[in-house]
Chains A and B, each alone.
Chain A
Amino acid sequence: MSNPPSGAASFVKTSVKQPYIWAIAALVLLLIINLIKDPSYLGISVNAVTGDLSGNLIDILRASAPIMMIAVGMTLVIATRGIDLSVGSVMAVSGAVSMEFMHDAGDGSLGSALMAIALALGISAFLGLINGVLVSIVGLQPFITTLIMMLAGRGLAKVITSGQNTSASNEFFRWIANGTVLGFPVVFVIGAVIVALVALLVRRSALGLMIESIGINPKAARMAGIRPVGLLIFVYILSAVLAGVAGIFSTASVMTVEVAKTGFSSEMDAILAVVIGGTSLAGGKFSLTGSVIGALLIATLDKTIVFLAIPSSATPAFKAIVIVAICLLQSQRVRALFSQRRARTSTPRKEAVSA
């Protein structure tokens, strides 16, 4: 996503070296498993009248959109050595704000939908600002700061809806989650556009370089004249706004906010997507492409669990096994073990000469 490939061959070549190659492998493996269960799993049918595409793959794209949003925000936060545990709660707040607003407006018009979205994203941004200020200016630990916001956000969502699961009806809002553009789900198209915009923003400006610098070596970055405060506030606001978008996506599909369930444990999905995508939790170098692939993998995993009819009580365990396997394959030690074996069989190579 960050550096568009000049050709398919070169893309494959660079991808093989990336840490998320294992995530792609796992993704393919899951699809193959599904394919074995049902040979028509990958089939995509086109509705002759509307031109809409439908099928399991399209469902996966639809389901991956909210995870993609929070994973991209989380990637940048983690790159600065931080973490944002509040994304799930911000999703709930955003969903609650938009549903409550449209419920009160009651007219189902486009205007009230747009107003609801603006309001939801504005409040999300404000929560992100609080996170950013507490982390960068006050100097609280990101873990604690966003843990508090995670609790407070969930509470705020309940206050907004008076503890009720609020529903509303609005055609435009519903279209976001259930409609299609050029046959693709609207959520996925919006998600992909937002990811592309964020990638352009951080990679075409110097933001990416600066974020990586403060994540790798904050002291050296300071000595080189980089101001961390603004950057930190930026990444926390961005993370919260993207969580707000994810909240709109996930409430729009059912046109109901379930204050206790919307976005519940989504922060885990986001962190997992980031880790699977090859960004280190220690901060520093980050890969937005990797996180998007991680989000797709998690969506596929969720769908596969349903498709294979794995009992819901065993779902978390199954998810954990797959993710642990990927993380193991990515770890330095396991990789070193593999390469040692390879080295033993082949002729011993000389260490690279450091001139």
Chain B
Amino acid sequence: MGSRVGDSMRLKDEAGRRQNEQADMAATEPIVEMTDISIEFPGVKALQNVQLRLYPGEVHTLMGENGAGKSTLIKALTGVYKIDSGSILVSGGPRQFSGTADAQSAGISTVYQEVNLCDNLTVGENVMLGNEIRGAFGINWKKTHQAAHEALVGLGLGDLDPRQPLSSISLALQQLVAISRAMVAKSKVLILDEPTSSLDANEVEGLFTVMRRLRDQGVAILFVSHFLDQVYAISDRLTVLRNGEFVGEHLTRDLGRSQLISLMIGKDFETLASLGSNRRRDARESGEQPFYSATDLGRKGSIEPVDIAVYPGEVVGLAGLLGSGRTELGRLMYGADRPDSGAVTIGGKSTEVHSPVAGLATKIAFSTENRRDEGIVGDLTVRENLILAVQARRGWARPLSKREQKELCDKYLVELNVRPSDPERPIKNLSGGNQQKVLLGRWLATKPQLLILDEPTRGIDIGAKAEIQEAIATLAEEGMSVVFISSELEEVVRLSERIVVLKDHRKIGEIINGPDITADTIVDLIASDGAEAQGVEAFEPEPAALASEGSVN
């Protein structure tokens, strides 16, 4: 993403913001105002000059793909992370919290996707935890439960018995209990971090009713969700982040769906025009066999059955928003998750790929999007990380000799331009981009015929990004099949010959890349697929989106 384009976009957003401000004239001062927030982690700029304003009595959505900086921004607000520069004003005065509890005592409560409540206590005890009503002989449980009941009634949850154990109610109700708890603590700001990702349609509606009620009471709600339909149903205003940068703040009603999608994923129009057709190839010669083909490949709660084929030397892009199932499909192909339906043919032979060991045995390699948790083995050296998959294939009894290890290191550290190219350095001390290159080297060293890359360029600097993209194009020219997954659509369009478009855990289309294809084509495809829901005033989530059941992250 050229910074020049980002700048011009920011200018445009400035204009939009001024307009919005006029609309706000009636509203009061913002209760939370974060200005020019920057946070840097070793090797990564997590946030750069990000703005956020929260007004009392509004639902404000934080939008962005994975790694855009949404959670980092929330953690900066609540003081979990220290900010490197910028200012945070709460109710007009500068504040720097020392953690979630500190923020809560100042009236800023956070409800996470994974509910932070005590399963073994009752609903009422959870609501009142830390705010129990005390009498002469310790806690007055009767009054405490009474107060809990009142708090629940206040949110329209009068039916809920405060003496019920928390573990006996559904996750959705637990979430509402967590919100009641925030309200007992007299919160003026409520942060809901992906509260809907494991709820069904009615539960979402229940949550939204409570949110509207709180909004009308003057609470400022910061809402994080990646379900577009829900965002349009509930939010008044939204702030879009991308790669840790502030993209813009908009009134939801002023912003169309496709506009929003393109803001989130970012588009570099000039680059697109020049590169859109780079990887186009003439139609497949008839009779050529795909290296990998699967029919009805699926896993319950993860992705609905999909047909997919990858030819030798072809780059197939998987495009879709966060939670669309693009990662899940990649994992099924490698065997990282066990598919529960589908027939797979690899190199003309029918096989089953139900574990990473089986994936590697059939010459498939999968580079995960979750580099830290599923990619690198942090305390081991670059060399050990590089040889790990090859060594696993050979088994424990046939260790690679010192010379073989050195050859692999020399080859891939130089070829992929890893810096510093010291093979004996612990990999955790490398920057994100260089860790990614070492992992790419790990998979290439297994000599795969199908390489699945899930977000190989995320969270790394532009230089490394270009190098990795180049490496992928070269590999495909040498005959390797590549499945390329990225949240940046222009990257997918630039590299792929064919693009499989996914939405809400199912495949909605397949595009053969050509001169006319741009990121817009994909955006339109995704946006139009949900258009039926858009027209309807009331919120009607799509069944497919709700089948996700917490598998989104």
Contact = CB atoms under 8 A, between A and B. Distances in A.
Contacts of A284: 379
A355 to B, nearest CB: 5
Contact of A355 (B374, B389, B431, B442): B431
A207 B378 CA distance: 18
Contacts of A219: 373-374
A224 B389 contact: yes
Contact of B379 (A216, A225, A354, A355): A216
Given A224-B392, A225-B356, A354-B42, A205 B397 contact: yes
Nearest to B361: A225
Interface in A212-268: 212-213, 216-217, 219-227, 231
B377 A204 contact: no
A21 interface: no
A24 interface: no
A56 B24 CA distance: 86
Interface in B391-422: 391-400, 419-420
B357 interface: yes
A81 to B, nearest CB: 13
B388 interface: yes
Contacts of A217: 373-374, 376-378
B399 A225 contact: no
Nearest to B371: A220
Nearest to A355: B419
Contact of B374 (A204, A213, A216, A220): A220
B380 A206 contact: no
B431 A223 contact: no
A62 interface: no
B378 A225 contact: no
A224 B379 contact: no
Contacts of B291: none
Contacts of A226: 388, 392
B338 to A, nearest CB: 12
B375 A210 contact: no
B101 interface: no
B43 A225 contact: no
A224 B42 contact: no
Contacts of B380: 209, 212-213, 216
B106 to A, nearest CB: 30
A285 interface: yes
Contact of B388 (A207, A213, A285, A355): A213
Contacts of B419: 355
A220 B375 contact: yes
B487 interface: no
Interface in B223-263: none
Given A217-B377, A217-B378, A223 B368 contact: yes
B433 to A, nearest CB: 10
Q: Which of A216, A219, A221, A223 has the most CB of B within 10 A?
A: A223
A205 B377 contact: no
A267 to B, nearest CB: 26
A209 B356 contact: no
Nearest to A226: B392
Interface in A175-228: 204-207, 209-210, 212-213, 216-217, 219-227
A244 to B, nearest CB: 23
Interface residues of B, number: 37
Given A206-B396, A225-B392, A354 B376 contact: no
B391 A210 contact: yes
Interface residues of A, number: 25
B55 interface: no
Nearest to A285: B379
Contacts of A223: 336, 356, 366, 368, 374-375
B501 interface: no
Contacts of B429: 352, 354
B189 interface: no
Contacts of B360: 225
A213 B377 contact: yes
Contacts of B389: 224-225
Contacts of B394: 206
B127 interface: no
Contact of A216 (B377, B391, B397): B377
A309 to B, nearest CB: 44
Interface in A28-84: none
A213 B357 CA distance: 15
B125 interface: no
Contacts of B58: none
B490 interface: no
Contact of B373 (A207, A220, A224): A220
A221 B388 CA distance: 8
Interface in A94-109: none
Interface string A268-296: 00000000000000001100000000000
A236 to B, nearest CB: 16
B384 interface: yes
Contacts of B336: 223
Contacts of A212: 377, 379-380, 384
Contacts of A204: 399
B430 interface: yes
A341 B292 CA distance: 60
Nearest to A204: B399
A219 B359 CA distance: 15
Contacts of A227: 357, 392
A225 B396 contact: no
B169 to A, nearest CB: 28
A7 B375 CA distance: 37
A227 B357 CA distance: 8
A222 B397 CA distance: 18
A191 B79 CA distance: 54
A205 B356 contact: no
A320 to B, nearest CB: 29
B131 to A, nearest CB: 34
Given A223-B368, A224-B392, 11 more contacts: A206-B395, A206-B396, A209-B384, A209-B391, A210-B392, A223-B366, A225-B357, A284-B379, A285-B379, A354-B43, A355-B419
Top 6 A-B pairs ranked by shortest CB distance?
A: A225-B392, A206-B399, A225-B360, A224-B389, A224-B388, A355-B419
22 contacts: A206-B391, A206-B397, A206-B398, A209-B384, A209-B388, A209-B391, A210-B392, A212-B379, A212-B384, A216-B377, A223-B374, A223-B375, A224-B356, A225-B389, A225-B392, A227-B357, A284-B379, A352-B429, A354-B42, A354-B431, A355-B431, A355-B434
